[in-house]
Amino acid sequence: MFDIQQELTKLPDKPGVYIMKDKNGSVIYVGKAKSLKNRVRQYFQDSAVHSPKVEAMVAKIAEFEYIVTDTEIEALILECNLIKDIKPRYNVLLKDDKTYPYIKITTNEEYPRIYMTRRIDDDGARYFGPYPNVQSVRETINLIRKIFPIRTCKRVLPRDAGKNRPCLYYHINQCLGPCSGHVSREEYQEVVRDVCSFLDGKQDAIIRRLEMQMQEAAERLDFEQAAALRNKLLSIRQITQEQKVFSVAGADQDVVGFAASKTDTCIQVFFVRDGKVLGRRYFIIEGSGEAELTETASSFLKQFYGTAEMIPPEIITGADVEDKELIENWLSTKRGARVYVRVPKRGDKVRMVEMVAKNARIELERFNEEMRKAEGVKEALKELSAMLGLDGTPGRIEAYDISNTGSSEITASMVVFEDGAAAKKEYRRFRIRSTDVRNDYASMQEVLYRRLKRAAVERAEAAGHDTDKNKQGRFSKLPDLIMVDGGIGHVNAAKQVLQELGMDIPICGMVKDDRHRTRGLVVPGDELDLTGNLAVLRLVTSIQDEAHRFALEYNRKLRSKRYSRSILDEVEGIGPKRKKALLKHFGSVSRMRQAGVDDFHAVEGISRAMAEKLYDFFRSTR
């Protein structure tokens, strides 16, 4: 049997990779360390403070292995390779690069060709991308071939040269016809270099050279060649103008922005070449929320650039990165030139990151909306039902939250989810009447009593007259499950109301961790940890956040009304216009208390009679 505490004493004080396994021997996490001895021990220290994700992982560790390396960079490379091959459950995992298309130019051949591929090989060819979808790749290749006639056929040249007649693309000027000897190798290679420069975003150099060639053709009266060059220039300039200028410095950069919710993270990358955005790509990291953003940023850089064909001299990121210097050194070695990882705090680069992060937020919201509409919601409801021991899947869930952020207004929300989707027309809000002090238990009992008592009355009235559901009251529907924001105290307080009204409705509490993130559900005698069930966690988080938002929104509205009220509202004949004029003239109510009749009369719009009324009012309220 593997004795973890005993094995911890054997760990070497050397760099390497550690591999965590569960009781079934499956690898659940791979990490690298500068010192295996120090890093691995941290997981099992009682005083260590871990994120919920790490706590869940540590609870499942039954044994571990380690591999010693000579340097920390070697450990980093090995970690990347193992994560890619094994795909452990608790590591941040990116989608397989094979799902994204690239443009490949076979510069390892004498007469290179261009085509789309999903596979990157170490074969000496040039790869450009990744592109967001296949359609964008096809459109780019078609555009390139109209400007630069490069071949796409699979003929092996120069071996197959002259064996067949040139294809249709030669006759429509979308191929130079190297298969039939119509172009020299040097001329063809020059076109290939232009294609590569074009895809690298270096159109300005191409434009300058083509302008020079067009001028030379015109000077020697070769107007046909000059016209062809002019048309090519117009096409390139149009494309260049359509590209968004991102960096006035004309730099080559990748800008990485992050948007994180409590359960997921979206990473967006903008590829900037020569100051222009040539493309972008995003990743959704499920189960890695805002609390793990630093770890997520580090894992992303290692996995993404571990297989990237092109590494720019500068990577700008919107989140702090673990082992930043180590990653910089590793990427510099891969690129063959210095690479900097920047985390800007001010200036233009911060604004660049913010713009990319906005795009990431849009993609994250779109992902969350798709998840809510997907079949996964139905599965989450089934799993939630099984966890709580319900008789069936809850079709109607009502969630309640109390907001007492103000000193006088205490409000509550009732939000409704039907079949896992928010039913906003069914939402209700309450202003607490029974207490003006912060007593969440009493407030929760009042809300539930008012809501359920009203349901009982409306259902009784409907039963006594007719059964037409359209004539039933708005509170007549009863929930299949009640969820309250809070722990076992809130649950017990709510159960007392149900017992008093003779209702048998399942109820549970939604509890958060010390970072105010949904952690689990609480029922009498037990707490259900949701960190290992992402589908249910995402559903419960959305319900809890919506209940909190709706309660807080009403609380703020009431506080805003209270703060906007003035003692002048008690004076008959003083409306918004006169009140504004008085406050502008005196500056405060305390100065009005010291004013005389003439002082009030001096205010625009205040008559002598009104001035006397104001004077008498403030004298009586001193």
DSSP letter for each residue of 166-209: --HHHHTTS---GGGT-S-HHHHHHHHHHHHHHHTT-HHHHHHH
- Tell me the CA distances in angstroms from 335 to 89, 195, 308, 313, 547, one per residue in order: 30, 22, 10, 8, 50
Of the listed ranges 72-81, 443-452, 467-476, 485-494, the least confidently predicted one is 467-476
CA 1 to chain centre: 43
- % of the chain surpassing 70 pLDDT: 90
Q: What angle do CA 221, 224, 228 make, to 5 degrees?
A: 125
Mean pLDDT of 331-344: 92
**Which of 466 and 421 is assigned the larger pLDDT?**
421
List domains and CATH numbers for the chain.
4-91 (3.40.1440.10), 98-201 (no CATH), 253-371 (3.30.420), 375-562 (3.30.420.340), 567-620 (1.10.150.20)
The pLDDT score that the predictor gives to residue 324 is 92
In sequence order, which residues have a C-beta less than 8 Å from that of residue 275 and are 6 or more positions away? 245, 246, 247, 248, 249, 250, 251
Token readout for 414 is: 């009732």
Maximum average pLDDT range among 89-103, 200-214, 274-288, 523-537: 523-537
What's the mean pLDDT in 260-270?
A: 86
- pLDDT bracket for residue 551 (50, 70, 90): confident
553: tokens are: 């929104």
* Percent of residues, the chain, with pLDDT higher than 90: 31
pLDDT at 513: 79
Task: Determine the distance from the C-alpha atom of residue 482 to the mean position of all C-alpha atoms in its chain, rounded to a whole number.
Answer: 30
Q: Strand 340-342 relative to strand 507-512: parallel, antiparallel, unpaired?
A: unpaired
CA–CA dist 339, 326 (Å, integer): 11
418 has pLDDT over 70: yes
Contact 452, 466 (CB under 8 A): no
Q: Does residue 544 carry a pLDDT above 70?
A: yes
Instruction: Give residue-wise pLDDT tens across range 438-458.
Output: 788 999 999 999 999 999 888
pLDDT reading at 97 higher than 70: no
| DSSP state for residue 568 in the 8-state scheme | G
Task: Give me the pLDDT at residue 18, please.
Answer: 95
- The whole-chain average pLDDT of the chain stands at 84
Average pLDDT, integer, range 88-103: 72
pLDDT in tens, 583-608: 888 888 888 888 999 999 999 889 99
pLDDT tens profile 243-256? 555 554 567 889 99
Rounded CA-CA distance 158/144 in Å is: 23
Please state, in angstroms and rounded to a whole number, the distance separating the CA atoms of residues 212 and 193: 17
The pLDDT assigned to 466 comes to: 55
What CA–CA distances, in Å, run from 518 to 51, 58, 261, 270?
13, 19, 11, 32
Q: Facing residues of 151 across strands?
A: 113
* Banded model confidence at residue 465, pLDDT cuts 50, 70, 90: low
Pairwise CA distance, residues 452 & 475, whole Å: 8
User: Average pLDDT for residues 401-430, to the nearest whole number?
Assistant: 85
Residue 448, CA distances (Å) to 110, 498, 506, 520 in order:
79, 8, 13, 22
